């Protein structure tokens, strides 16, 4: 018999002997501590310790005692020991756990009864992203890409801050860059492949776009600036940016001298050894004309401008529940595959249930808002419910600084669950902004078909709207 089989047989015999001794009451040894064999498998001496759940202190919100399919928002602020209970579903969680997570994500702790199956993660707090810090306290950035939301293959987001005078150094990307200014003001500059130049000053609410490969730089004006960047590649990383500093540092000085018309080698003695990324600089001149450098190719034509002053545009749609401001290539032609909606939702109101036929949506929440498809929350607190077909549905909670991503064709709503306005941006990879409203769809379908399909009464179906509502008052 092989030795390892013999050893296993011997151990089994020892265990059986211990059980027989325990059952007969015979002593198993003189030690006051349990032997290792007495702890293996069943032994009546080990006993069972029952948990006393009667002493667990907790309280339930009224909405938790309702039918789980009602799915009302649960505000666990001030609730003692929140529990994963909805109607007749769930049970107690005695802990240990961090109730702060439950307060931030009540629909994960006690999801609506309509949640079912599995939906890929659609939420990422930028507060959990690694912060890349600039030099001389000139700013910082943090990003979200497929490393954080694996399903977000079409778009990635970056939240960046530049202090007054701070630069995001001269650079370019393999991905196209769309940006929304969150606060403050910034001067942007670029040069095209034909040598045309561009410079503009932007403020909160304005937008810029740089095609892939176009070199550009950013410098914060007085008071600094913070902006959202959206790239058309879900795997994009700020670390893979092409930089002016590295172009010069990674080419031989002799080649640099030839390239620039025979400058002495000493001209390159003090160039940076590598990336500056974000760094402090000489404040930009008040008069932008001083930086309007023009070559033989002239400046970029207005119709091909890299910026759009969206802050000056009127709302596209205004409803009792909020407003929507749309920007797409119809008004901003250079951003040929970027369409966005800046959405404001009043407390209790809902961005109506809808889906996008052309692209996925990325959402990010920063201090007072949200982006969908690629979504970015700028302010407020919200939840998004996603239906992903095959019976799968899930609800996610969003707060300032969170990002979200909803894949193409999946229905979703955005509900303001707080007491302040929610402001968010829905960003699509599309040549125009579009969605299909569930309300309008059934409102324009013959009533009898809807009644037969959903088992609804004629009085209910007759209330359906034939026009999109965008934001519905709560």
Active site members:
426
The DSSP line for 411-444 is: EEEEEE-SSS-EEEEEEESSSS---EEHHHHHHT
4 is in an annotated binding site: no
432 is in an annotated binding site: no
Contact 458, 451 (CB under 8 A): yes
C-alpha separations of 370 from 188, 295, 324, 326, 442 in Å: 24, 41, 12, 14, 27
Taking phi first (over 0 means left), then psi (-120 to 50 degrees means alpha), and beta for anything else, what does residue 29 get? left
Bridge partners, 433 (sequence order):
none
Instruction: Give the 3-state secondary structure of residue 319.
Output: strand
- Calculate the dihedral angle through the C-alpha atoms of 18, 20, 24, 25, rounding to the nearest 10 degrees: 10
364 is in an annotated binding site: yes
Helix, strand, coil percent content, the chain, rounded in steps of 5: 20, 30, 45
Burial 270-281 (b: 16+ CB within 10 A, else e): eeeeebbbbbbb
C-alpha to C-alpha distance for 110 and 59, rounded to whole angstroms: 14
Torsion sign over Cα 448, 449, 452, 457: negative
216 is in an annotated binding site: yes
Closest to 430 (Cα-Cα) out of 332, 346, 310, 349? 332
Under DSSP, the state recorded for 466 is: S
C-alpha to C-alpha distance for 263 and 282, rounded to whole angstroms: 25
C-alpha to C-alpha distance for 403 and 378, rounded to whole angstroms: 10
Residue 192 backbone dihedrals phi, psi, to 5 degrees: -85, 175
173 is in an annotated binding site: yes
Residue 106 backbone dihedrals phi, psi, to 5 degrees: -65, -30
- Cα–Cα–Cα angle for 462, 466, 469, rounded to 5 degrees: 110
**Residues in the annotated binding site:** 171, 173, 177, 216, 354, 356, 364, 412
**Residues in the annotated binding site for Mn(2+):** 171, 173, 177, 216, 354, 356, 364, 412
């Amino acid at each position: 018999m092989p030795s390892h089989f013999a050893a296993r047989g011997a151990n089994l015999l020892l265990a059986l002997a211990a059980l027989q001794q325990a059952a007969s009451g015979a002593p198993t040894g003189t030690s006051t501590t349990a032997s290792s064999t007495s702890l293996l498998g069943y032994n009546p001496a080990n006993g069972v310790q029952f948990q006393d759940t009667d002493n667990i202190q907790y309280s339930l919100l009224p909405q938790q005692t309702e039918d789980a399919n009602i799915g009302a928002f649960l505000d666990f602020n001030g609730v003692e020991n929140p529990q994963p209970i909805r109607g007749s579903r769930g049970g107690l969680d005695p802990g240990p756990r961090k109730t702060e997570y439950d307060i931030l994500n009540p629909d994960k702790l006690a999801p609506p009864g309509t949640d079912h199956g599995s939906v890929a993660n659609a939420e990422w707090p930028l507060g959990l992203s690694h912060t890349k810090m600039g030099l001389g306290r000139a700013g910082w950035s943090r990003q979200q890409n497929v490393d954080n939301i694996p399903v977000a293959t079409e778009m990635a987001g970056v939240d960046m801050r530049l202090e007054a005078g701070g630069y995001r150094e001269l650079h370019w990307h393999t991905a196209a860059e769309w940006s929304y200014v969150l606060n403050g003001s910034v001067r942007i500059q670029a040069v095209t492949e034909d040598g045309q130049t561009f410079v503009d000053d932007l403020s909160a609410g304005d937008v810029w776009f740089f095609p892939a490969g176009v070199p550009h730089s950013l410098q914060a004006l007085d008071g600094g600036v913070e902006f959202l960047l959206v790239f058309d590649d879900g795997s994009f990383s700020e670390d893979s940016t092409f930089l002016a500093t590295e172009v010069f540092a990674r080419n031989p000085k002799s080649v640099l001298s030839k390239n620039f018309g025979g400058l002495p080698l000493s001209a390159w003695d003090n160039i940076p050894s590598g990336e500056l990324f974000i760094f402090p600089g000489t404040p930009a001149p008040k008069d932008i004309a001083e930086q309007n450098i023009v070559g033989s190719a002239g400046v970029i034509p207005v119709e091909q401008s890299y910026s759009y002053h969206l802050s000056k545009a009127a709302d596209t749609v205004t409803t009792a529940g909020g407003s929507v401001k749309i920007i797409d290539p119809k008004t901003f032609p250079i951003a040929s595959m970027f369409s966005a909606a800046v959405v404001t939702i009043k407390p209790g109101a809902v961005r109506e249930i809808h889906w996008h036929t052309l692209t996925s949506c990325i959402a990010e929440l920063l201090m007072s808002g949200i982006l969908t498809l690629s979504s970015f929350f700028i302010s407020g607190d919200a939840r998004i419910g996603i239906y992903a077909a095959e019976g799968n549905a899930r609800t996610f909670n969003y707060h300032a600084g969170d990002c979200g991503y909803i894949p193409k064709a999946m229905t979703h709503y955005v509900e303001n669950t707080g007491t302040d306005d929610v402001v968010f941006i829905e960003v699509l990879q599309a040549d125009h902004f579009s969605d299909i409203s569930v309300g309008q769809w059934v409102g324009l379908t013959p009533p009898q078909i809807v009644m037969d399909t959903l088992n609804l009464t004629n009085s209910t179906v007759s209330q359906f709207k034939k026009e999109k509502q965008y934001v519905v008052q709560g």
